[in-house]
Amino acid sequence: MNLKTYTDKLEQLDFSNMHLKDFLLTWEHSPEELEAVFTLADALRDMRENNISPRIFDSGLAVSNFRDNSTRTRFSFASACNMLGLTVQDLDEGKSQIAHGETVRETANMISFMADVIGIRDDMYIGKGNSYMREVADSVQQGFDAGILEQRPTLVNLQCDIDHPTQSMADLLHIIHEFGGIENLKGKKVAMTWAYSPSYGKPLSVPQGVVGLFTRMGMDVVLAHPEGYEIMSEVEQVALKNAEQTGGSFTKTHSMAEAFQDADIVYPKSWAPYSAMEKRTELYSAGDQAGIDQLELELLAQNAQHKDWECTEEMMQLTKDGQALYLHCLPADISGVSCQQGEVVASVFDRYRDPLYKEASYKPYIIAAMIFLARIKDPVATLNRLAEQANQRFRE
């Protein structure tokens, strides 16, 4: 095992403020706290690969609330919680009293009596998702302060309207391994580009999460999209501030080719225009189904004007030595496979299939590390104790 390598690194980092705190936006955490998550994720993976149980809970509940569809993040959250010893219970709002008008405060407390973690995905509506998470966080804090809850569960953002921290952190840990360490990321060019999709309404949180996090590493991040596909201006300001502090850069272009030119890393991914997502939120709030249907038709027509925004072999040849690392949060819209024309041609996707699956495989460990750092006051001592006990995860 390489556990001492990881514990030695953790001892050099200041992450004490993460104890009993939520993880909602990456830019709310210090660089050392982010590095602690990466380091602990690697430590937990190392333990599992060496058949050492990383369970820190003998019992306890993890509640998942997915207000949008999910495969990777749903199973990553369940895997992370189970690995640490927690039982996962999914909150199905359609089968709960929420359908009968139960308030957020009441729901938050009722699901938290023996819960250590609450994971929430709420990414559909601008101005709603992150606010909902913070309302849940405030509600369980009130329940804890009043003595109703014997512990205050930690909230983990499993994707909101602003950020997708577990995804961007998993993406970055993949990059760290591909480039041989976090110290090697400074100056690397990242092309975070829009790409054509035959569907509409994809959240902005992936591109926003990428520009909000990768600029923390001193990387040169280029955000590329057709005119009219802007992301939140507040997140752009975060990226600019990050770049100024780390010596990297954050620039924008309306040319996919310009973004791909000499890029070390490319991330072609479709998203909906910020203004359209605002309008959709208003229509849903008003219950205007006819307006929603009309907006969908307009956005599909708008997307169709930019079918040339596709990650092709020719586009990949523009990257550094034609060998840029291709990223995607999955599922990708693969031309000729999952759709007639989409974000990426099949030959590019197939060439990077194994690295893409490896990229996704980091997410359970990232989530587990977030939970571990929030629930355990002295993570290094706990890791050392787990290593000394050497309880086997399974016995052959």
In angstroms, the CA 48 to CA 82 distance is 12
**Residues 174 and 322 reside in one and the same domain:** yes
DSSP 125: S
CATH number at residue 49: 3.40.50.1370
Does residue 394 lie within any of the structural domains?
Answer: no
Is it the case that residue 99 has pLDDT exceeding 70? no
**Residues 173 and 156 reside in one and the same domain:** no
Question: Tokens 């495989």 sit at which residue?
Answer: 361
Q: Tell me which residue range forms the domain holding 158.
A: 3-163+363-389
Is it the case that residue 102 has pLDDT exceeding 90? no
Does residue 56 lie within any of the structural domains?
Answer: yes
**Residues 28 and 65 reside in one and the same domain:** yes
What are the pLDDT digits (tens) for 259-314?
A: 999 999 999 999 999 999 999 999 999 999 999 999 999 999 999 999 999 999 99
What are the pLDDT digits (tens) for 42-93?
A: 999 999 999 999 999 999 999 999 998 899 999 999 999 999 999 999 998 8
| Residue 342, C-beta contacts closer than 8 angstroms, at least 6 positions apart | 195, 196, 197, 198, 310, 332, 333, 334, 335
Per-residue exposure over 147-177, b if at least 16 CB sit within 10 Å of its own CB, e if not: eebeebbbbbbbbbbbbbbbbbbbbbbbbbe
Sign of the dihedral defined by the CA atoms of residues 274, 129, 162, 319, in that order: negative
In angstroms, the CA 345 to CA 337 distance is 9
**Residues 205 and 89 reside in one and the same domain:** no
Does residue 237 lie within any of the structural domains?
Answer: yes
Q: Which residues make beta-bridge pairs with 341?
A: none
**Residues 41 and 121 reside in one and the same domain:** yes
Q: Are 210 and 221 in contact (CB under 8 A)?
A: yes
**Residues 106 and 179 reside in one and the same domain:** no
Does the predicted model carry a pTM greater than 0.95?
yes
**Residues 138 and 214 reside in one and the same domain:** no
Does residue 266 lie within any of the structural domains?
Answer: yes
**Residues 45 and 119 reside in one and the same domain:** yes
Domain count, the chain: 2
Question: Tokens 């990050």 sit at which residue?
Answer: 242
- Measured in whole angstroms, the distance separating CA 272 from the mean position of its chain's CA atoms is 18
CA-based nearest residue to 238, from 207, 264, 203: 207
Does residue 75 lie within any of the structural domains?
Answer: yes
CA-based nearest residue to 310, from 340, 284, 274: 340
**Residues 264 and 313 reside in one and the same domain:** yes
pLDDT score of 1: 62
pLDDT score of 133: 97
In angstroms, the CA 344 to CA 366 distance is 27
pLDDT score of 98: 77
Does residue 396 lie within any of the structural domains?
Answer: no
| HEC per residue, 283-348 | HHHHCCHHHHHHHHHHHHHHHHCCCCCCECHHHHHCCHHHCCEECCCCCCCEECCCECCCCEEHHH
Residue 208 has φ and ψ, to the nearest 5°, of -65, -40
**Residues 352 and 372 reside in one and the same domain:** no
Q: Are 248 and 240 in contact (CB under 8 A)?
A: no
**Residues 281 and 294 reside in one and the same domain:** yes
What are the pLDDT digits (tens) for 155-213?
A: 999 999 999 999 999 999 999 999 999 999 999 999 999 999 999 889 999 999 999 99
Does residue 395 lie within any of the structural domains?
Answer: no
Is it the case that residue 5 has pLDDT exceeding 90? yes
**Residues 67 and 208 reside in one and the same domain:** no
Q: How confident is the model at residue 26 (pLDDT cuts 50, 70, 90)?
A: very high
